[in-house]
Amino acid sequence: MKAFQTAGLRINMEREIKRQVVKGSIAYAALFSLSFILHIVFAAKDYDI
């Protein structure tokens, strides 16, 4: 019985880790996209920073 509980906890941990990786990837992609868009906007307006 303990082996099944351990396997269940492992599956739950794997799901949680996968969920966090997906969330992190989405957040990273969003920030990268925003950075790229701002780069284009500032380059188009010829701002010097």
- Whether residue 3 is contained in a domain is answered as no
- Whether residue 20 is contained in a domain is answered as no
- Whether residue 46 is contained in a domain is answered as yes
pTM of the model: 0.65
Residue 1 has pLDDT above 70, yes or no: no
Q: What's the burial of 48, exposed, middle or buried (CB within 10 Å: 0-12/13-18/19+)? A: exposed
Domains: count for the chain: 1
pLDDT single digits (tens) 6-43 = 777 888 899 999 999 999 999 999 999 999 999 998 88
pLDDT at residue 31, rounded to an integer: 98
- Whether residue 15 is contained in a domain is answered as no
- Whether residue 18 is contained in a domain is answered as no
Query: Rounded CA gap, 20 and 25, in Å?
Result: 8
Integer-rounded Cα radius of gyration of the chain: 21
Q: Which domain holds residue 35?
A: 25-49
- Whether residue 19 is contained in a domain is answered as no
DSSP 48: -
Query: Rounded CA gap, 40 and 27, in Å?
Result: 20
Tokens (6 digits) for 35: 């950075």
pLDDT band at 4 (very low <50, low <70, confident <90, very high): low
